[in-house]
Amino acid sequence: MRVHMNTAGSGIIHDSTHEIMKNYLFSEFKIGSYETELKYESILNSEVYNNCAQLMNCDPENVALFTSATDAWVSIIRMLRVKEKSEIWISDSEYAANVIYFSFLSNKYNLKLRRIPSISNFTIDLEWMRNNLSDNVSIVSITHMPSCCGIINPIEEIGELLKNKDIAYIVDACQSIGQLPIDVKKIQCDLLTGASRKFISGPRGVGFAFVSKKLSSKLSYDFFDLHVGYTDNFNKCLTVNTAKSFERSERSLVSICGFNNALKIRINDSDYNNENFVFFLEELKKIKSIKILFPDSYIQGIAAFQFKNCSASDGVKKLRDQGINLWEGTAQHTPFLSPHILHSKFVRASFDKNLSIHDIEIALNAIRKI
Ligand SMILES: Cc1ncc(COP(=O)(O)O)c(C=O)c1O
């Protein structure tokens, strides 16, 4: 059995999720996939939305499913009407794909892209936000936890600052949801996105979004698919007015079924304490042959470090050969957070609270020997 420390890439699915997906696929093989869809109708069309809504504390009708977190994020944001020459504010933790989209958008509407400065622990500077907010800000986009390490941005405090303002407040919770409690009512955001496969430990191929009513009413639709609409003599008719309208008709149903089970496991466990990670990080800090990145920040679930005498790629390979999964990280996925190491690689170790101390000791011993 492997020691899996790559949950920021993808968590290992639970036995029961594996079983459910196997049965679903077998049913598709035996009776046909559309026929299987009918059999699992209540899971696919309501249970999974209810469970996803429970995880985020919202109404099921505000939940939409996609193929990835980026798919969720872009599918919604691209329908947002943005005021010409207004400002988009982003966090230093911002995921690179989000930045790429905003670069396109800023060229199209002549927008000003601004980085919210960070304080010394690399989280966003709330004081700066308070002092600089103006009516000309149209979007504030915050990545709750960057993909390179477990820094946590204060998304609820940002929500307090932005409430009652005519600003689209967007939260990328891809690395935090599943490992930290997420409550969109407390965050007061308009959009929050995540993926099944990371700290929820669901299968790959599913992303999801919470879309607020306020944001939905501001979006300019350019398409809806046939699960919610039809066309009649060139008129277009939308029949459903929930976030499902943002989805595509065709979905990987076996993955959605697995995602539903992973959600159930997560919401049935109210404990978000990852003490084993705290132990791991403290032990890691004692190892002389490595350099911890972001040593002065409060970190949860994802650690980043470099070997002093070995490249990240060689170190990760040596550990993988011993059955220990770490990942060779690139700062290019979080270009503003770590510009000083933009062109070098690092090792990323990430895991949820279920990794045992025994497995962590195995990994630590192997890391010490590199
Ligand atoms: C913070 C963050 N946002 C978004 C994404 C994109 O997720 P996906 O690959 O599901 O599109 C990732 C992926 O690692 C991420 O770490």
Give, using CA atoms, the residue closest to atom 16 of ligand 1: 147
Tell me which of 215, 241, 268 is where a domain ends. 268
Q: Are 155 and 142 in contact (CB under 8 A)?
A: yes
How many folded domains does the chain comprise? Answer: 2
Whether residue 135 is found in the same domain as residue 103: yes
Select from 95, 252, 328 the residue to mutate for testing ligand 1; criterion: most ligand atoms less than 8 Å from CB: 95
Confidence of residue 235 (pLDDT cuts 50, 70, 90): confident
Distances (CA, A) of 143 to 5, 9, 19, 120, 233: 22, 16, 33, 17, 43
CATH number, position 241:
3.40.640.10
Of 268, 295, 314, the domain-final residue: 268
Contact 334, 93 (CB under 8 A): yes
In a shared domain, residues 295 and 150: no
In this structure, the answer to whether residues 307 and 258 fall within a common structural domain is no
Rounded to the nearest whole angstrom, what is the distance from the C-alpha of residue 174 to the centroid of ligand 1? 6
Shared domain check, 104 and 42:
yes
Predicted pLDDT of residue 49: 98
What average pLDDT does range 207-234 have in this prediction? Answer: 92
AA identity, residue 245: S
Q: Are residues 297 and 246 in the same domain?
A: no
Q: Is 95 in the pocket of ligand 1 (CB under 6 A)?
A: yes
* Domain match, 129 and 29 both: yes
Choose the residue to mutate in 7, 67, 70, 300 for probing ligand 1, maximizing ligand atoms within 8 Å of C-beta. 70
Global pTM?
0.97
Is residue 142 located within the same domain as residue 162?
yes
Residue 98 CA to ligand 1 center (angstroms) comes to 9
Mean pLDDT of 254-262: 98
Inform me whether the pLDDT recorded for 73 exceeds 90.
Answer: yes
Instruction: Find the CATH number of the domain harbouring 337.
Output: 3.90.1150.10
Range of the domain at 235: 15-268
**Same domain membership, residue 325 and residue 214:** no
Q: Indicate if 35 and 24 belong to the same structural domain.
A: yes
Domain end (from 239, 268, 297): 268
- How far is CA 364 from each of CA 66, 251, 286, rounded to the nearest angstrom? 37, 40, 11
